[in-house]
Amino acid sequence: MSKNCVARASEIKKLIVGIGGMTNGGKSTLSQSLHQQIPNSCVIAQDSYFKDESEVPEDSHGFKQYDLLDALHMDTMMSDVDSWRRDPVQYLRQRSLKPSDEQLFVLIVEGFLIFNYRPLNLLFDKRYFMEIPYDVCKRRRSLRVYNPPDPPGYFDGHVWPMYLKNRIEMEDSTPGIVFLDGQKPKEELLSGVRDDVFKEIERLRDWKAFVC
């Protein structure tokens, strides 16, 4: 390094972790547990950005087309991600989260189509995808009540075919995804991802930015 270069070890460092996966794969459960265990972290959840029912079109069978990026306000989601990237301290404070003295911040982004939206997908440092078999997915989904609730035949008529389509698109465009078995015990899933994220945090801590 030239003697004119300045080490900026104290600069704020940021890590963005993507928890993608099938509907009911366990994304929210894992993301909330990670948030509780990772200091200076927060969660942005894609299902907070669904458009109003009146804005979501129906197909020829009368099924609302919810399992498409078009059903989501991705522009709003991106602007929230960008405000975290600009100033994570302020972002946490605005949400009544208390930043620690630590200069390292972790954003957990979770959702069923997070790796299908290119501008967001480009930002991830780590990508995980929670998968479960068809019958488990169908059973878990049948126990959950969305707003609006799934009409009869919705899982096989819309949710599952769209999952298969979206997954092909994702795998074609995104290498390096770590696939997780969403049937493993919650604690095991949590400890695996948490340890992986902590390793990444250690790597970032050791890394010094040099400005020449």
Ligand X SMILES: O=C(O)c1ccc[n+]([C@@H]2O[C@H](COP(=O)([O-])O)[C@@H](O)[C@H]2O)c1
Structure tokens of 165? 């389509």
Contact 204, 15 (CB under 8 A): yes
Contact pick of 13, 85, 140, 167 for ligand ADP (by CB under 6 A): 140
Closest CA to 20 of 212, 171, 185, 195: 171
**Most distant CA atoms of the chain, gap in Å:** 70
CA 85/CA 90 separation, integer angstroms: 10
Picking from 60, 59, 178, the residue whose alpha carbon sits closest to that of residue 115 is: 178
Neighbours of 43 (CB within 10 A): 18
Q: Judged by CB, which is closer to ligand ADP: 27, or 127?
A: 27
Please, what is the minimum distance in Å from the beta carbon of residue 57 to ligand ADP?
23
- Closer to ligand ADP by Cβ: residue 88 or 182: 182
Q: Which is nearer to ligand ADP, 62 or 161 (CB)?
A: 161
Active-site residue flag, 195: no
18 near ligand ADP, rule: CB under 6 A: no
Count of residues engaged in binding ligand X, rule: CB under 6 A: 10
Contact track, ligand ADP, 143-182, x by CB under 6 A: ---------------------------------------x
What residue ranges bind ligand X (CB under 6 A)?
Answer: 23-24, 47, 50, 66-67, 112, 146-147, 159
